[in-house]
Chain A
């Protein structure tokens, strides 16, 4: 079945540092890939997505590129802020369940300090 593997957290960075959170996946066919973010005490929000190979999703300074050859979708940001502290989830949709079913990774907690 489908699966998503993320790097273990927590990741602790100083403000303005470069961020990379690794994500790799296993799926049949050509899944769509997502990054969701969960701020403390809240539900998940879509951060960015990519629906086909070589697509780059971007939002709020975050970027991720769909790499089919390495089955990866790593999240990057050039300069993190304290307000980026949250849990980040990589996810995929393989088109089953009407295209809406998501398989999530375990999440990576990011802590950004001054």
Chain B
């Protein structure tokens, strides 16, 4: 049971480039989400999904796209990277069974935009 996995671990982009951050979970969780972590600001919700085919915006969605074609995968796309998107990105998942508020986090992707 791998839990929540994220790739890549570290990425450097130039301004204007695009890329996809991958997130996968093997716990059959319905709920998945993306956060960014910035110094002094904690974690802020970018987008979330309550199930395959359903996504919604969080607190800071601008510049990011998501889709959820399967239960397992929830990729985050940066369409045109900007230096303001330099951050650490965490994917998380949880289930509506048991304790739905308990989220399981991936190890993070550190992104540097030059």
Contact = CB atoms under 8 A, between A and B. Distances in A.
Contacts of B30: 98
Contact of B100 (A98, A105, A107): A98
Interface string B80-104: 0000000000101010100111110
Nearest to B90: A43
A34 interface: yes
Interface string B24-47: 000000110101000011111100
Contacts of A98: 30-31, 50, 96, 100
Interface residues of A, number: 23
Given A49-B101, A97-B50, A100-B100, A43 B41 contact: no
Given A51-B101, A97-B31, A97-B50, 18 more contacts: A34-B101, A41-B107, A42-B108, A43-B4, A44-B103, A44-B105, A89-B42, A89-B43, A93-B101, A98-B96, A100-B31, A100-B50, A100-B100, A100-B101, A101-B58, A102-B103, A105-B42, A106-B40
